[in-house]
Amino acid sequence: MKPFNIAIVGCGTVGGGAAKIITEINESLTSRSGRLINLSKIVELNPPVAIERFGLPGKLFCGGGKVITPQEAGKYIDEILNDPSIHLVVETVGGTSNFVHDLCVNICKSGKHLVSANKALLAERGQEIFNTAEKSNVSIGFEAAVCGAIPIIKTIKESFTGDEIISVSGILNGTSNYILSRMLDEDLGFGQALKLAQEAGYAEADPTLDISGGDAAHKLIILMKLVFGIDVTMEQLKFQGIQNISADDMEYAKEIDAAFKLICYAKRDGDKVYGTVCPMMVKNDNFLSGVKGATNAVRTINRYSGKHILIGAGAGSLETASSIVADIMFIARYSDKIKNTQLSNKLEFKGLSHFTFPFVITFTTEDRPGITGLVTTEIGKQDVNIYTVSHNRHIKDGAVFSVETQPCTLKQINAAIKEIKASGILKTEPKIYPILF
């Protein structure tokens, strides 16, 4: 049986998990792949930590399992790139630095297949890496970059090749979903729920990337590239986070039979692709509204086969590592048949302002008669039909109320808000949330 030799660069949470799986079930992996799966080398600055955490043999590490310097790591990486016996390199260093970008490019240039969980790098700087892989006739596996253990990448690339995906949406960030679930179920404020997420290990000490929508935006950009062949930047996507959702907002969501979720949404309509990442009020008859905790879920709507939902663990060491290993197995078996992601120049990207959605707009205004009428009149002037208006929630010398619209565009709503602001009645900036059915 021909060997398939692997090197791992970076043996932290995900890289160490992948090494653990490969060493523990090596015989089974070899049987499934039809190749002798062999973990040849690991480059890691602090091997003793990885050895203890994952139970790995010290002999696998360059330097014999001792702590090494960045300069020594660079030398070992060069040796791997120049070693013709190494077939595939796993990059689990993380980040979007020039070092990591160049590492991935050079792995492909060296004629070796690449597997990575680095969603930020692939979303923000991935095109050169994909282009280099294409020129070098090597494959890139990136299942672990989107939703951890959920096999959404392979499902799209393999299972749906006989169909056409019209839209893809879902909950792609477990931290945000955990926070919103605790807020909804226990009537907590955002700060309280965030603290619980940090205590449970679902949120970092600095949770900015998760709660701002940035992490979810990286994942949606990768999915849009894969599904629609369109390359979208973070600036174009203009993502929004969950940090401004209040307990009062949560209460109104319950009133309209909905739950708050940070939703990634992309849809093709003709030669345009619409995409956004933002908090939405998801109606309770939509499956996504019931996805709780740190779980991820992805929904596709296909032209011929209809709706499909994949749900599972979106993070975690061994969960994400299982996707790394699945990519290794797939490449070991089918590398000569794998087609890398292709871009299309025929499609135009449009952001949230061009979507047609029903919206909820929450206003905080002066507390005096006639204000609700003024607000709804200005909205109506923009040819927006109003579905319902909530009761006023009085706070100190102000009032809070919400307006639920029929489907319209954010451009129409913003035009109405501009006129409402001119009247001088607003005490804060209105909150605007799409409704997802």
* pLDDT value for 41: 98
Whether residue 165 sits in one domain with residue 146: no
Torsion angle of C-alpha atoms 52, 56, 58, 60, degrees rounded to 10: -150
CATH number of the domain residue 401 falls in: 3.30.70.260
Which position has the token pair 């597997």? 115
139 and 196 fall within a common domain: no
Please indicate, yes or no, whether residues 86 and 211 belong to a single structural domain of this protein: no
pLDDT given at position 88: 98
The CATH number covering residue 171 comes to: 3.30.360.10
Whether 263 and 252 have beta carbons less than 8 Å apart is answered as no
| Residues facing 6 on adjacent strands | 39, 88
Q: To the nearest 10°, report the CA torsion of 245, 248, 252, 253.
A: 30
Per-residue pLDDT of the chain in tens (437 residues, 90 and over written 9): 899 999 999 999 999 999 999 999 999 999 999 999 999 999 999 999 999 999 999 999 999 999 999 999 999 999 999 999 999 999 999 999 999 999 999 999 999 999 999 999 999 999 999 999 999 999 999 999 999 999 999 999 999 999 999 999 999 999 999 999 999 999 999 999 999 999 999 999 999 999 999 999 999 999 999 999 999 999 999 899 999 999 889 999 999 999 999 999 999 999 999 999 999 999 999 999 999 999 999 999 999 999 999 999 988 899 999 999 999 999 999 987 777 766 766 899 999 888 899 999 999 999 888 999 999 999 999 999 999 999 888 777 889 999 999 999 999 999 999 999 999 999 999 999 999 98
Do 277 and 205 lie in one domain? The reply is yes
Same domain, residue pair 49 and 97: yes
Length of the chain: 437
Domain end: 279, 301, 334, which one? 334
pLDDT score for 336: 74
Residue 304 lies in a domain: yes
Residues 414 and 375 in one domain: yes
Residue in 219, 261, 267, 431 annotated catalytic: 219
Please list the residues that pair with 394 across neighbouring strands: 399
Query: For residue 419, what are the domain limits?
Result: 356-436
Q: How far apart are CA 60 and CA 82, in angstroms?
A: 18
Question: Tokens standing for 341?
Answer: 């992601």
**Is 142 inside a domain boundary?**
yes
Do 242 and 293 belong to one domain?
Answer: yes
Whether residues 262 and 129 fall in one domain: no
Find the helix or strand (DSSP H, E) in which 30 lies.
Answer: helix 26-33
- The β-bridge partners of 281 are 260, 435
pLDDT of res. 314: 87
User: Residue 277 in 3-state DSSP?
Assistant: strand
Cα separations in angstroms, 350 against 1, 37, 66, 272, 276: 50, 44, 51, 7, 9
If asked whether residues 229 and 295 sit together in one domain, one would say yes
Domain-located, residue 8: yes
CATH number of the domain encompassing residue 115: 3.40.50.720
In terms of domains, do 298 and 425 share one? Answer: no
Instruction: Evaluate whether 228 touches 347 at the Cβ level (below 8 Å).
Output: yes
Q: Say if 247 falls within a structural domain.
A: yes
Does residue 340 belong to any structural domain of this protein?
no
Q: State both tokens at 198.
A: 């940090």
Say yes or no: 168 and 139 in one domain: no
Decide: helix, strand or coil at residue 388: strand
The question of whether 219 is a catalytic residue gets the answer yes
Q: Is residue 111 part of a domain?
A: yes
Say if 220 falls within a structural domain: yes
Q: 241 with 178, same domain?
A: yes
Q: Is 419 helix (H, G, I), strand (E, B) or coil?
A: helix
C-beta separation of 215 from 119 below 8 A: yes
The pLDDT of residue 324 is 98
Asked, for residue 339, whether it belongs to a domain, the answer is no
- With both helix axes pointing from N to C terminus, report the angle between 26-33 and 317-334 in degrees, rounded to the nearest 10: 40
Q: How many domains does the chain divide into?
A: 3
